[in-house]
Amino acid sequence: MSDQTRRSVADEIGQRIPFASAGQEAMVALMRTADVIRWTLGQGMAPAGLTLQQYNVLRILRGAGSDGLPTLEIGNRMVERQPGVTRLVDRLISKGLVQRARSEGDRRVVRCTITPEGATVLADLDAVVEDADKTMKEALGAAGLSRLIESLDVLRAALHVDE
């Protein structure tokens, strides 16, 4: 998007009065941007019949390798907090993309792994994420992306999200 077509968040949401503070404007702009990113990626996941949360579970399990992960650990690694991780996994199992099995070492532990079909679907969706990555690089440049990542890290730490 060029600077000529760029609009402020106030214009996008039809805000008629100024924001009370720059912090409030930044929060609204961040939430609006996150929504646009989620919507864009969601559109790319839809043809595969996946939600962004299901995609995230598959991504996590691909990274975990053949050992897989317990459901609780999947939940801890999710990008967005998700109370219903078991339901997400159940849906992926019903699609044949994930499997669940008891651990050989400790029968109390149930581990989830991505199936070969799940890995194929995920590999096909890598292009969707690569397109979004390319757009971000083109819009912000390497230095801009670096500053954005650093600013978001600082903000999350200030909000104590990781506790």
User: What's the pLDDT tens digit per position in 75-119?
Assistant: 999 988 877 899 999 999 999 999 998 877 777 888 999 999 999
**Interval 28-43: pLDDT, tens:** 999 999 999 999 999 9
| 3, part of any domain | no
| 2, part of any domain | no
Range of the domain at 107: 9-158
Tokens representing 59 are 């991504």
pLDDT of residue 151: 93
| 1, part of any domain | no
Average pLDDT, the chain: 90
Apex CA 60: angle with CA 57 and CA 32, to 5°? 65
| 52, part of any domain | yes
| 4, part of any domain | no
DSSP three-state, residue 91:
helix
**pLDDT of 48 strictly over 90:** yes
Tokens representing 55 are 């995609």
* C-beta separation of 13 from 28 below 8 A: yes
pLDDT of residue 1: 46
| 84, part of any domain | yes
Residue 66 is part of a domain; what is its CATH number? 1.10.10.10
- Give every CB contact of residue 38 below 8 A, 6+ residues apart in sequence: 52
- Give every CB contact of residue 62 below 8 A, 6+ residues apart in sequence: 114, 118, 119, 122
Residue 161 and residue 68: Cα distance in Å, rounded? 26
What domain count does the chain have?
A: 1
